[in-house]
């Protein structure tokens, strides 16, 4: 039996992960803005499920969530930074308040939680930190500058943090989904009023998402099973792509990046001092 702390356990990936973890016999701290939304799960598993009032935009909530989990269960084997939301807007359409809240929710908030859990995992000499990233962090679309940027920033920060704490047995995995059938395109996707100038780019992507809503290819229950199987992996991956869309987009991006790197090598490579100087 392991102990997990899962943010955003109310719906979507978070609820699927929580239900699957409880079904597998694990202990779960459910960090949510509204504990009522998970009252059914806590009532069903009062010994192994703990609801914690948690908002990613409130800095004090990070240490409190870790402390409440330790008080109840005594350890944290896996932190799943799942909670987040999208912002669909060109940079020009994005307000300061939207920019700040999205970065706080998708980057700073998860980073604060990671910072708060590291001393616990370092003491335990084990632990696994899993972040719900997005394919937008690697192969982005018009309209997802802030959202994809925040997810990419978290992944880059964890690339370094994983090296900081590798000697203490702490592992990191960025889970990279394409479109999955959750509330994401609905209530978890904020829109800006569209300027006519962005109809052909952001508007086009927005229409694509609207059309896909309810028919996304990804199954969050299957994703939850794949993510929780990482608990048994001796060497979990730093990046786990989820679903066919993410695989296709990631592979295309890798190929185009390699081609561009080679095409411009003669320009960029000779900029070092001569060897020995």
Among 19, 70, 75, 85, contact with ligand NAP (rule: CB under 6 A): 85
Is 68 a binder of ligand NAP (CB under 6 A)? no
* CB-based burial label for 263 (10 Å; 0-12, 13-18, 19+): exposed
| Token code pair at residue 155 | 């992944």
CB of 123 to ligand NAP, least distance (A): 26
Q: How far apart are CA 29 and CA 267, in angstroms?
A: 52
Residues that are catalytic: 133, 147, 151
Closer Cβ to ligand NAP, 24 or 219, answer by number: 219
Other CB atoms within 10 Å distance of the CB of residue 163: 10
Q: Which helix (H) or strand (E) holds 261?
A: helix 244-263
Can you tell me which residue has the tokens 């003669």?
A: 266
183 touches ligand NAP (CB under 6 A): yes
Is 33 a binding residue for ligand NAP by CB under 6 A? The answer is yes
Query: Applying CB under 6 A, does 256 fall inside the site for ligand NAP?
Result: no
Q: Which is nearer to ligand NAP, 127 or 148 (CB)?
A: 148
For the window 111-150, what string marks contact with ligand NAP as x by the rule CB under 6 A?
Answer: ---------------------x-x----------------
Sole binder of ligand NAP in the list 3, 8, 78, 202 (CB under 6 A):
8
Residue 180 lies near ligand NAP (rule: CB under 6 A): yes
Q: Site for ligand NAP (CB under 6 A): which residue of 20, 55, 68, 93?
A: 55
Single out the residue of 34, 67, 256, 257 in contact with ligand NAP (rule: CB under 6 A). Answer: 34
Query: Cβ distance 54 to 61 under 8 Å?
Result: yes
What is residue 273's DSSP assignment? P
Nearest to 20 by CA among 53, 49, 52, 62: 49
Q: Please pick, from the candidates 76, 182, 202, 249, the single residue that binds ligand NAP as defined by CB under 6 A.
A: 182
The span from the CA of 211 to the CA of 63, in Å, is 40
Q: Which of 225, 229, 247 is nearest to 179 (CA)?
A: 247
Calpha distance 116→133 (Å, rounded): 19
Q: Which of 143, 18, 12 minimizes the C-alpha distance to 3?
A: 18
**Residues making contact with ligand NAP (CB under 6 A):** 7-8, 10-14, 32-34, 37, 54-57, 82-85, 105, 132, 134, 177, 179-180, 182-184, 187-188, 216
């Amino acid at each position: 039996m392991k102990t997990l702390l899962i943010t955003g356990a109310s719906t979507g990936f978070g609820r699927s992960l929580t239900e699957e973890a409880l079904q597998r016999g694990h202990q779960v701290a459910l960090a949510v803005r509204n504990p009522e939304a998970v009252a059914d799960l806590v009532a069903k598993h009062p010994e192994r499920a703990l609801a914690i009032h948690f908002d990613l935009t409130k800095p004090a909530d990070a240490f409190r969530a870790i402390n409440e989990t330790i008080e109840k269960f005594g350890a944290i084997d896996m932190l799943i930074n799942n909670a987040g939301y999208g912002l669909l807007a060109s940079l020009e359409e994005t307000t300061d308040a939207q920019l700040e809240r999205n970065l706080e929710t998708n980057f700073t908030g998860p980073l604060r939680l990671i910072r708060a859990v590291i001393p616990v995992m370092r003491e335990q000499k084990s632990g696994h930190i899993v972040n719900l990233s997005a394919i937008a962090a690697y192969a982005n679309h018009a309209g997802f500058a802030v959202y994809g940027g925040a997810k990419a920033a978290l992944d880059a920060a964890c690339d370094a943090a994983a090296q900081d704490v590798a000697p203490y047995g702490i592992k990191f995995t960025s889970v990279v989904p394409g479109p999955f059938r959750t509330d994401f395109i609905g209530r978890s996707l904020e829109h800006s009023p569209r300027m006519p100038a962005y109809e052909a780019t952001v508007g086009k992507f927005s229409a694509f998402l609207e059309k896909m809503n309810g028919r996304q290819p990804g199954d969050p229950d299957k994703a939850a099973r794949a993510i929780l199987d990482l608990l048994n992996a001796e060497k979990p991956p730093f990046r786990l792509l989820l679903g066919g869309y993410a695989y296709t987009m990631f592979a295309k991006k890798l190929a185009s990046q390699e081609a561009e790197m080679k095409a411009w090598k003669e320009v960029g490579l000779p900029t070092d001092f001569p060897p020995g100087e």
